[in-house]
Every structure is written in structure tokens, then in C-alpha cells.
Amino acid sequence: MQTKTKQLSITKIPKRRFKGFAGEWEEKSLGAVSEITSSKRVYLSDYVKAGIPFFRGKEISELKKSKTASNILYIKKSKFIEYKRKFGAPIKNDILITAVGTIGNIYRVNLNYEFYFKDGNLIWLKNPNVNSSFLEMLLDYHKKDLLKGVIGSTQKALTIIGIKKVKIPFPLEVAEQQKIANFLESVDNWLKNLRSQKQALKSYKKGIMQKIFSQQIRFKADDGGGFPDWEEKTLGECLAYKQPTKFIVKSTEYSNHYKTPVLTAGKSFILGYTNEIDGIYKNHLPVIIFDDFTTTSQFVDFPFKVKSSAMKILEAKTDVDIRFIYEAMQQIKYEIGGHGRHWISIFSNLSIPTPTLPEQKKIANFFSSIDNLIESKQKQITKAENWKKGLLQQLFV
């Protein structure tokens, strides 16, 4: 691959080209590169318990993300054969675009079985006359252009007419399309491998946690001897709680240029960053933040502020390693009932098996080492994703 050293005045030439290719890309409407259509309408009465898979936008979005779909609907094989004979059915390398709900997910068909799909939910790019793998990547890159054709106010949707009119620059030579597609597929495989490595580490941690907390695996003391038996303790005996009121952020005008993270105990964890300097929690780190309504929790070892009062800040009591307690809390299986607060009335009274402090520390350090590997792998993934993003800006027009 060669990098252009001089920016040409022609706007439809990419900044980065593979050797042997030159000239301006040609702007084409999607209607000129593929037949764009949908499916025959299938009615609720046509659904059966087994037969030919019938996909809606939900399943196509799942296939795009993980190559598997859940809660699949089916239609009779005889009905599918009829529709296929009269109207056709998607085949490998056709492209489907979600048109309602989650709009603009682009999926190149790569299945080893036949299926049909819901009309109106999906737009079908049938038998494209350009490289399909390249087209999928190009459409992902130009998704904003696709979404300009969305109609409706409350129920937004993409339309076949709108998609047909979308214009995108294409390389004139199919060979260049193939070169770009092959290269980007290798980048995607690299990213996929990194994500698989991260998932393998997370699965390993989950499995080893179950064995440690069930005491199938025990750590040895520094002198090679064993530790005493574990004892049952309540979370309230291990942790003291603090109300978050004085640590609540006053303004939600966050910026990545600010220093102090604003936290939630939910999955999003860091909501943003604030420049407020008062009311920062920093004196008894690390702590656990606990959502009083959902019972989710996060381990925090850095100064922070919080978004709301719907949580407890949990601090370690004497002879407790808070990282161990946090990991033990993740093993608790609790079904939430009602909308009340849970720490004082329920969770503080739950018991967990607890070793002596020296064994707690060994377990906590072990889990921290795994978490460091997972975090390192995530940094590699983020770096690779950012590199790919910059690469796309150079390879496409």
C-alpha cells in the first residue's frame, strides 16, 4: 500500500491507495449497483413452530453483531418454496439493511441455510453488481448518508425509494474493491481475535471464581501451610455504608476534558467527567458503589463524584479486603422484587463465606491480576478500533 504525499484537488480520490490503482472514484446511486426490493408479506397466521427461519430486523441485527440469532420465528417450507419461486429469497452476499426500529444495521448474508424475512423491517440489496464484501463495508462507512433518507416523526423508517437515491463513490475497478475488502477483512479478523482473547479471559475468571468461592480451590499461606476454615459473615459486618448526598454532581454538562469521573453503579459506570472540585469522594478508597434499587455494584479505586442518591458508598471495615468482598458480592444470586431500597433492609443482612484477611488478600490479588490482563486486552482492542477508524477515512472517499 502506498500513501499519497500530495493532496490532489479532485475530491473523489482516497488519501491512501493500493499500488496499481489510480484515478477518481465514480459516484453511483445504490439503485444503479443493485436491485433494491423487499419480501413478500408474511402474516401472523403463517408462523409455525419449525420450518424455514423467518428474520425480522432484530435477528438481522443479532447476526450482524454475533453471527447468531435468538428467538427465531419460522414459516412452512412449502410457503417459503412458493415465495422463493415467485419473488426470490436472499442468498449469500446479498445485503439486508434494517429499516425500522434500530435503523441502518447492514448485514451481508453469509449463512449456510435458507431463510426468509419480514417485509418493511428490512431492505434487500439483491445480487449487487459490485463486490458485496466491499459494498457492506462502504455502506457501514456511509451510514450517515443512508440515514438521511429516514422518513416519519414518531415511527421512523428507511424506504426503498430513499435507499435507491443514495449516492456513494465507488472505485471503477472491481479488483480495487476486492483489494480493499480483503485488507479490511484481515483487520476485522485481527479485531475479532483480540475480542475472543478478552472473552476467554473473562470466561476463565468466571469459572475460577466459582471454584474459589465454593472452596474447591484454596490458597496456601506464604510458609506453604493452609489457612483456617472460612466463616459466614454478613455484608453488614464487612462493610460500612455512606450516603452519597454530598458527592452528587451539581451539573451534568460533562466533558472528556475534565478530570473527575461521575459514576453510576450500573453497566455504564462512568457517565462523564466534571470540572467540579468540591464534594469529590477520595479519602477511603477503594470502595464499592452499590445501586440501592437494582443491587448492581462497581469496584472503585479512584476519586469520583456520583449522579444521584440512589446508591450507597460501601467502605471496608477492619480485617476486610474490600476487593475480596466485591468479588464475593458478584456471586450473590438475588431476584429483585419491588422498587424499594435494598442495602439496609436486605443486602447488609446477606451472609457470605469469608476467609481470614491474609487469604482474602491472596484471592483479591489473584483476581486483580486477571482484571489487569482483561483491561490490557481492552486497551489493545480500543487502539485497534481507533486505528481502523482512521484507516477507513483514508481508504474511502
pLDDT-derived band at 191, boundaries 50, 70, 90: very high
- CATH number given to 231-354: 3.90.220.20
Residue 212: DSSP 8-state = H
State how far the alpha carbon of 170 is from the alpha carbons of 27, 133, 177, 184, in Å. Answer: 6, 13, 8, 16
Distance CA 114, CA 269 (A): 41
Interval 333-342: pLDDT, tens: 888 776 778 9
Alpha-helical (H) ranges within 40-158 are 57-66, 77-87, 132-141, 143-147
Residue 6 scores a pLDDT above 50: no
pLDDT-derived band at 8, boundaries 50, 70, 90: very low
Beta-carbon contacts of 192 under 8 Å, excluding residues fewer than 6 positions away, are none
Can you tell me the mean pLDDT for 173-194? 95
Can you tell me the mean pLDDT for 81-104? 93
Residue 189 scores a pLDDT above 50: yes
pLDDT for res 5: 47
Can you tell me the mean pLDDT for 173-201? 95
pLDDT-derived band at 1, boundaries 50, 70, 90: low
For residue 391, give the H/E element and its range.
Answer: helix 357-395
Can you tell me the mean pLDDT for 153-172? 88
Choose the weakest-confidence range: 77-81, 248-252, 308-312, 336-340: 336-340
pTM of the model: 0.82
Domains of the chain, residue spans? 23-172, 179-218+357-397, 231-354
Can you tell me the mean pLDDT for 306-312? 93
- CATH number given to 179-218+357-397: 1.10.287
Nearest to 325 by CA among 346, 297, 293: 297
Topology agreement, domain 23-172 and domain 179-218+357-397? no
Beta-carbon contacts of 42 under 8 Å, excluding residues fewer than 6 positions away, are 54, 75, 79, 83, 116, 118, 119
pLDDT for res 244: 95
Residue 32 scores a pLDDT above 90: yes
pLDDT for res 2: 55
Can you tell me the mean pLDDT for 190-212? 96
Percentage of the chain modeled with pLDDT above 90? 83
pLDDT for res 157: 87
DSSP string, 346-370: TGGG-EEEE--HHHHHHHHHHHHHH
Can you tell me the mean pLDDT for 14-33? 93
Interval 42-75: pLDDT, tens: 988 899 999 999 999 999 999 988 778 888 999 9
pLDDT for res 176: 95
Burial of 24 (0-12, 13-18, 19+ CB in 10 A): middle
Asked if residues 179 and 19 have their Cβ atoms less than 8 Å apart, the reply is: no
- CATH number given to 23-172: 3.90.220.20
Give the three-state DSSP class for 240.
strand
Can you tell me the mean pLDDT for 98-115? 92
- Dihedrals phi, psi of 288, to nearest 5 degrees: -115, 130
Cis geometry, peptide bond prior to residue 169 (ω within 30 degrees of 0)? no
